[in-house]
Amino acid sequence: MRETLIRQSDAQTSVPIIAVDAESLDTVLASLGETGQVWCRANGYSAKPSSHQLVPGLSGELEAVLFGVEEGGNSNPFSLGNLAKNLPDGDYHLADGFPGAAEAALAFALSGYQFNQYTSSPTKKPPRLCVPNDVDLERLTVILDGVQLTRDLINTPANDLGPEELASAVEAVFVENGGSGQVVVGDDLLDQGYPMVHAVGRASSRAPRIADYSWGSEDAPKVTLVGKGVNFDTGGLNLKPGNSMTLMKKDMGGAANVLGLASMIMAAKLPVRLRVIVPCVENAVSGNAFRPGDILNSRKGLTVEIGNTDAEGRLILADALALADEESPEVLIDMATLTGAARVALGPDLPPFYTDDEALAEDIAVMSEAATDPLWRLPLWKPYMKYLDSKVADINHINTSGTGYAGSITAALFLSRFVEKAESWVHFDIFGWTPAEKPGKPMGGEAQGIRALFDLLSERYTKTK
């Protein structure tokens, strides 16, 4: 269970966090008791943005916390995240007039996340925050729970989270919310038309599978989420060098993210028909592994020449997207830790997204900015489709030109070949990981884009009362 890091205001028993800038510093100091005032001056506290100062009361108790914000408003609403890990255990509240209280509370709680199930020594408890009554705590809680689920799934090591456990996680979230669905496992994947999921996952001792769950009224608008669920990516026969393999437990980050988003959608009871499809595989090495040069059939019927077994994600996604596309959803979203090239282009904190739907792209950009959930559009640049030409099959799944150009774009273009009927499709090439801690982002598995997408879907599909 997630520890409750934020709750509704209870100012009597908690320590106030007071926003202060260079201009208001003297006034704020004057409002403190004399001990506190003297202490702050003795420490030379100057209200630098994101800096904080503990303020003692008469008997040395913690009376208040000063937190530096930028003059004329706080242009970085997530800066309060810095504070959460530096405060002593205890209850705090945002003092009246704290700028951007909802975002600040969200950042505070996002920073307080800990993944400590595997450590035996006790870890420092994160501080708790009471939020003002005008902050929509219910919505914040829905978002935090979703992010927590995503992070926990990514952080859980592959020895404890294989294809079976990942599919069970999808099932659990849906069953909890009254949804239902099925998992197709092992050789049944061949009978039921998922040849590429089978080919990628068959070399593992843990059988590949595809989870397909739905929730909500059948006549509501169809919103379908597809997530790359590679529990561990060794690269297959095109084995990754050791350094590149270190973080590959996170290669189910797309699945973890769409599941976090799904949990938000269901908790908020958005009036949609939600469907989540997650192909779950381990890209392993064994005598029966698929090989470079193999030609695979796909659910859609296109034959696919294998250029490199380390480009496994797009193969399992292609079958999953083809399945999703069959019922022409109104919105089809996929998320995947698909390419190293996306990280080279935009770094770990700014996932690219791809869509031909101009209105959707615009909405995503707006929501991403508003939610401090960075995303950047890259083009589905059709002229590069020729890089995927194959001499022996309908398509190759990697750029065969030998140039190595546009790795994230060509991966997206490959996926686009498997989506035809969806009214609107968007693909996110995420990193799913925060390599170095930042405000609101502890090091480790990360939710990327799903807070923005939840806001977008909440606005498009307004909750029925």
- C-beta closer to ligand BES: residue 267 or 406: 406
- C-beta closer to Mn ion: residue 312 or 429: 312
- C-beta closer to Zn ion: residue 65 or 338: 338
How many C-alpha atoms does 429 have within 13 Å on its Cβ side? 31
Q: What is the footprint of ligand BES within residues 387-416 (CB under 6 A)?
A: 398, 407
Which residue is closest to Mn ion by CB?
A: 310
Backbone φ, ψ for residue 93 (5° rounding): -140, 155
Q: How far is CA 162 from CA 207, 221, 233, 309, 454, in A?
A: 9, 32, 11, 19, 27
| 374 close to 349: Cβ distance less than 8 angstroms | yes
Binding segment for ligand BES among 49-57, 141-149, 290-298, 333-341 (CB under 6 A)? 333-341
The option from ligand BES, Mn ion, Zn ion, none interacting with 208 (CB < 5 to 8 A, set by class) reads: none
- C-beta closer to Mn ion: residue 310 or 455: 310
- Kindly give the residue spans of alpha helices, DSSP state H, lying in 308-462: 313-325, 340-346, 358-370, 407-416, 450-460
422 binds ligand BES (CB under 6 A): no
- Show the tokens assigned to 112: 């307080």
- C-beta closer to Zn ion: residue 240 or 377: 240
Q: Catalytic residues, which ones?
A: 240, 314
Residues contacting 374, CB < 8 A, separation 6+: 349, 350, 351, 368
Shortest distance in whole angstroms from residue 157 CB to ligand BES: 16
| 452 close to 364: Cβ distance less than 8 angstroms | yes
Shortest distance in whole angstroms from residue 461 CB to ligand BES: 31
Size of the site for ligand BES (CB under 6 A): 16
- C-beta closer to Zn ion: residue 137 or 318: 318
Q: What is the footprint of Zn ion within residues 231-290 (CB under 5 A)?
A: 233, 251
CA–CA distance, 254 with 367 (Å, rounded to integer): 19
Angle, in degrees to the nearest 10, between helices 253-267 and 163-176: 10
The option from ligand BES, Zn ion, Mn ion, none interacting with 398 (CB < 5 to 8 A, set by class) reads: ligand BES
Q: Residue written as tokens 């990280």?
A: 343
Torsion on CA atoms 9, 3, 451, 369, rounded to nearest 10? 60
CA angle 400, 428, 377 (to 5 degrees): 90
CA–CA distance, 263 with 307 (Å, rounded to integer): 36
CA–CA distance, 460 with 49 (Å, rounded to integer): 36
- Show the tokens assigned to 334: 């996929």
- C-beta closer to Mn ion: residue 147 or 338: 338
Q: What is the footprint of Mn ion within residues 307-346 (CB under 5 A)?
A: 310, 312
Give the chain's radius of gyration (CA, Å): 24
CB atoms within 10 A of CB 221: 18
Binding segment for ligand BES among 57-65, 128-136, 143-151, 336-344 (CB under 6 A)? 336-344
Shortest distance in whole angstroms from residue 131 CB to ligand BES: 35
CA–CA distance, 47 with 20 (Å, rounded to integer): 6
| 136 close to 102: Cβ distance less than 8 angstroms | yes
307 to 336: interface string for Zn ion, x by CB under 5 A: ------x-----------------------
CA–CA distance, 108 with 84 (Å, rounded to integer): 5
- C-beta closer to ligand BES: residue 257 or 263: 257
Backbone φ, ψ for residue 211 (5° rounding): -95, 135
Q: Which of 308, 401, 424, 458 binds ligand BES (CB under 6 A)?
A: 308
| 416 close to 352: Cβ distance less than 8 angstroms | no
241 to 260: interface string for ligand BES, x by CB under 6 A: ----------x---------
Q: Residue written as tokens 């089809």?
A: 332
Q: Which of 204, 224, 298, 337 binds ligand BES (CB under 6 A)?
A: 337
Q: What is the footprint of ligand BES within residues 169-188 (CB under 6 A)?
A: none
Shortest distance in whole angstroms from residue 460 CB to ligand BES: 29
Binding segment for ligand BES among 95-103, 216-224, 260-268, 338-346 (CB under 6 A)? 338-346
Q: Which of 103, 282, 312, 455 binds ligand BES (CB under 6 A)?
A: 312
Q: Which of 341, 367, 393, 409 binds ligand BES (CB under 6 A)?
A: 341
| 253 close to 231: Cβ distance less than 8 angstroms | no
Q: Which of 431, 441, 446, 452 binds ligand BES (CB under 6 A)?
A: 431
407 binds Zn ion (CB under 5 A): no
Which stretches of the chain bind Zn ion, using CB under 5 A?
230, 233, 251, 313
Which stretches of the chain bind Mn ion, using CB under 5 A?
233, 310, 312
Which stretches of the chain bind ligand BES, using CB under 6 A?
233, 251, 308, 310-313, 337-341, 343, 398, 407, 431
